């Protein structure tokens, strides 16, 4: 009964999306407020119905209802409860249901919190959002039904991929989808603006909070996925340029460009067409990621499905959404005239420069990801594009971008004083030189590649430049303390958010540099009592314990005692697990961190003589990568609390309307 309830809810939700797609849009065209207002209850109803379906599927998993094919294929009675719950979205059908649930959550949020939006814009945006939901609900009902029955029902299920039975994978996909799907809201606002033929500062201020929410969620989702790969796969790395990793990184790059471009629209009433195009491209890249994960055209540990029928359906959706929006942009985009002129050496110019760099970087990653597919389709042979290509083309694009990030906030709008901005960055220059030189002359620093000092110097440049910009805003040491304190209290939260987020980027750059330049790795066969020296530490294999029992797996656990200079430092207990259903081994690395670096130990297979293959790493500054990502998210959340995004635009619009009536 519960599965039928869930499927019925999806069918009714499909009809609700038809009403939400058509009625408010016609009402907006006719200027009929009653029809436009239909968007809000329809969005609420759509959310309630899809949430009901999602709750029904979760109930089937929690109660181990093996009459449902999806539960049979992805669950087992021995699974811990948390993985029964996360198993709902750890498969193709369930993850698509989560996809449309999050899509409906954004629509519901606009209907609840968007009371200050112009009725026409809100109606058009919710109508576009419903069109997207209609396409994906069709996809679920016709190709990916999560409630399909199996008769007779088996006594137990096939289990869940052991790699997915991890807390990181329980939370990583929902945050990733909050980001992926969240950009649909910026897309819907962009299409609504094209329909109206009006993009202004108020529009930019309305769309920016939704973009920030998606950006924060995607940043956190990518970081959580990277952390999972780091400690679960046992390879000592945190990023592999895997095609599906790239699929999440591309919309992050274009979404970051969209965030900064919307600032220019809000502040200077220019770059309108560019901002609309970025909103379209960002969501299109999100759809492309969905296609890559579900089509089977790329091989990845992240892939959900390899059914060509499903891939063709998603590809058709991608073509319709992207092609239709680009055609509309080609027709209406030229009418979006920018009102503010600016010189290249201005804040607008520097933001546009960084926008172009980020967009080019996203295009480069897209090319490297899809090129093997094109080569295979054209019978050019099997081609592999890996880290050497991406590093060679991506890093040169990022260096000037990071340099500009420190300079841009110190430039004035319209026409900036470039020499003056550089003059105010004397402290940042000094910090850059000191860090780069200190890196080179520090013990062990010179043993790394030459670019290591430059990378840490670049991180210092951005961090110091960001602090200089904040100090300039509050007139630190340049005004009486009372005035500085008052400025600190009155500084907009969006300014604090930018400061925090840019410092987070600097921390990430430092972490990437350190982990890439000075990682040490040792692979060997060890017997109990053997000692390996690594980065000033001595790791002694004390022994192993076999056939320990977990909830649904057996464990081989090793014990490493770690000393430094003869003094005990830590004990590491890496594990190798063998799951019972499905029978598959996994690796659980043991990590000891002091925030400056990680000792990382992995136990491998026995050699048949009482020894075991072991992999031991010292990964300097890797924790900074994940800490920096969290700092970036905090910066985005601080910006999101800025009061202007809740009340500023509507008030300003009201004043403008009053002024227009007065002139009439």
Could you read off the pLDDT of 45-103 as tens digits, one per residue?
Answer: 999 999 999 999 999 999 999 999 999 999 999 999 999 999 999 998 999 999 999 99
Residue-level pLDDT at 649: 45
For 1-165, CATH gives 1.20.120
Q: How far is residue 512's CA from residue 455's CA, in Å, rounded to a whole number?
A: 9
- 181-192 residue pLDDT tens: 999 999 999 999
Contact of 607 with 591, CB cutoff 8 Å: no
Residue-level pLDDT at 508: 98
- 581-606 residue pLDDT tens: 889 999 999 999 998 999 999 999 99
- 255-269 residue pLDDT tens: 999 999 999 999 888
Q: How far is residue 292's CA from residue 285's CA, in Å, rounded to a whole number?
A: 10
3-state secondary structure (DSSP) of residue 216: helix
Q: Which of 644, 636, 649 is nearest to 212 (CA)?
A: 636
b or e along 554-575 (b: 16 or more beta carbons within 10 Å of the residue's beta carbon)?
A: ebbbbbbebeeeeeebbebebb
Contact of 91 with 74, CB cutoff 8 Å: yes
* pLDDT-based confidence at residue 632 (cuts at 50, 70, 90): very high
pLDDT above 50 (res 548): yes
Query: Which pTM does this prediction carry?
Result: 0.93
Residue-level pLDDT at 476: 92
3-state secondary structure (DSSP) of residue 193: helix
H or E, element range at 456: helix 451-474
Place of tokens 């420069």: 353
Q: Can you give the residue ranges of every domain in the chain?
A: 1-165, 173-338+348-403, 520-623
Q: How far is residue 111's CA from residue 43's CA, in Å, rounded to a whole number?
A: 7
Helices (H) and strands (E) in the chain, counts: 21, 10
Residue-level pLDDT at 446: 61
Contact of 599 with 591, CB cutoff 8 Å: yes
- 28 vs 35, 104, 130, 195, 277, CA distance in Å? 8, 21, 15, 10, 23
Alpha-helix residue ranges (DSSP H) falling in 378-450: 387-407, 418-423, 426-441
């Amino acid at each position: 009964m519960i599965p039928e309830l869930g499927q019925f809810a999806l069918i009714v939700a499909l009809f609700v999306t038809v009403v939400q797609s058509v009625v408010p849009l016609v009402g907006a065209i006719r200027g009929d407020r009653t029809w436009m207002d239909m968007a809000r209850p329809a969005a609420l109803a759509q959310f309630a119905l899809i949430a009901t379906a999602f709750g029904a599927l979760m109930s089937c998993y929690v109660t181990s209802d093996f009459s449902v094919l999806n539960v049979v294929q992805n669950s087992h009675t021995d699974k811990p409860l948390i993985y029964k719950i996360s198993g709902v979205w750890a498969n193709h059908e369930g993850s698509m249901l989560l996809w449309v649930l999050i899509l409906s959550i954004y629509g519901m949020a606009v209907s609840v919190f968007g009371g200050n939006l112009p009725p026409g814009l809100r109606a058009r945006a919710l109508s576009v959002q419903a069109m997207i939901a209609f396409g994906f609900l069709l996809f679920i009902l016709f190709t990916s039904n999560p409630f399909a029955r199996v008769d007779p029902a088996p006594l137990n299920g096939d289990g869940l991929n052991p790699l997915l039975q991890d807390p990181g994978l329980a939370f990583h996909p929902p945050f990733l989808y909050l980001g992926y799907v969240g950009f649909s809201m910026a897309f819907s606002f962009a299409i609504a603006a094209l329909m109206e033929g009006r993009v202004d500062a108020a529009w930019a201020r309305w769309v920016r909070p939704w973009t920030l929410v998606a950006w924060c969620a995607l940043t956190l989702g990518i970081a959580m996925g990277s952390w999972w790969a780091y400690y679960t796969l046992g390879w000592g790395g945190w990023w592999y340029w895997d095609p599906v990793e790239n699929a999440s990184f591309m919309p992050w790059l274009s979404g970051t460009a969209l965030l900064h471009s919307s600032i220019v629209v809000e502040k200077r009433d220019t770059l309108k067409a560019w901002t609309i195009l970025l909103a379209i491209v960002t969501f299109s890249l999100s759809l492309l990621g969905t296609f890559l994960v579900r089509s089977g055209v790329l091989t990845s540990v992240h892939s959900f499905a390899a059914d060509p029928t499903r891939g063709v359906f998603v590809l058709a959706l991608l073509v319709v959404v992207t092609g239709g929006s680009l055609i509309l942009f080609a027709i209406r985009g030229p009418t979006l005239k920018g009102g503010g002129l600016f010189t290249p050496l201005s804040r607008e110019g520097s933001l546009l420069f960084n926008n172009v760099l980020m967009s080019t970087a996203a295009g480069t990653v897209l090319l490297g990801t899809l090129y093997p597919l094109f080569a295979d389709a054209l019978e050019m042979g099997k081609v592999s594009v890996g880290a050497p290509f991406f590093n060679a083309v991506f890093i040169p694009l990022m260096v000037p971008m990071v340099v500009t990030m420190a300079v841009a906030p110190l430039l004035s709008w319209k026409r900036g004083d470039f020499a003056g901005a550089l003059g105010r960055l004397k402290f940042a220059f000094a910090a850059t030189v000191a860090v780069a030189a200190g890196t080179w002359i520090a013990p062990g620093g010179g043993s790394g590649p030459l670019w290591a000092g430059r990378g840490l110097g670049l991180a210092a440049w951005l961090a110091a430049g960001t602090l200089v910009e904040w100090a300039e805003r509050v007139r630190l040491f340049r005004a009486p303390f009372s005035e500085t304190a008052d400025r600190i209290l009155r500084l907009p939260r969006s300014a604090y958010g930018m400061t925090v987020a840019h410092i987070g980027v600097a921390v990430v750059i430092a972490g990437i540099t350190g982990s890439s330049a000075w990682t040490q790795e040792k692979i060997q066969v060890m017997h109990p009592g053997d000692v390996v020296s690594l980065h000033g530490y001595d790791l002694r294999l004390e022994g192993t314990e076999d056939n320990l029992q977990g909830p649904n797996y057996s464990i081989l656990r090793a014990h490493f005692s770690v000393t430094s200079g003869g003094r005990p430092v830590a004990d590491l207990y890496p594990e190798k697990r063998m799951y019972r259903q499905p029978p598959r081994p996994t690796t659980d690395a043991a990590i000891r961190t002091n925030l400056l670096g990680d000792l990382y130990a992995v136990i491998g297979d026995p050699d048949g003589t009482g020894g075991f293959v072991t992999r031991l790493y010292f990964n300097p500054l890797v924790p900074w990568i994940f800490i920096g990502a969290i700092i970036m998210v905090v910066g985005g959340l601080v910006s999101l609390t800025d009061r202007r995004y809740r009340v500023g635009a509507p008030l300003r619009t009201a004043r403008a309307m009053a002024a227009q009536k007065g002139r009439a």
